[in-house]
Amino acid sequence: MNRFVVFQLNGEWLVASGDRLRISFNNRKEAEQSAFNAADALASSGHAVSVLIMPDGPDTDAQQFAMLSGLVPRATQN
């Protein structure tokens, strides 16, 4: 499964995928959108994907984690 993790570190929002990909963004919205776009692209080609969004900081309630996983159904032509 391909997993994208969105998290904040030292005031920057990062998107990580495995040990390979770390991209920095100015805000959480941009980081989330990037992760969802990358996950959608992989899911569209049949790969299993998940997106994990970490809370904003240490004072955040742990129940606010968001994790989406699965495959996006492919559109078929009639």
List pLDDT tens digits, range 43-76: 999 999 999 999 875 545 545 444 555 554 444 4
Is pLDDT at 42 greater than 50 in this prediction? yes
Q: What is the distance in angstroms between the CA of the first residue and the CA of the last residue of the chain?
A: 30
Structure tokens at 72: 């996006």
Residue 4, pLDDT score: 93
Neighbouring CB atoms inside 10 A of 51's CB total 21
Neighbours of 37 (CB within 10 A): 12
- Give the DSSP H or E segment for 50: strand 49-53
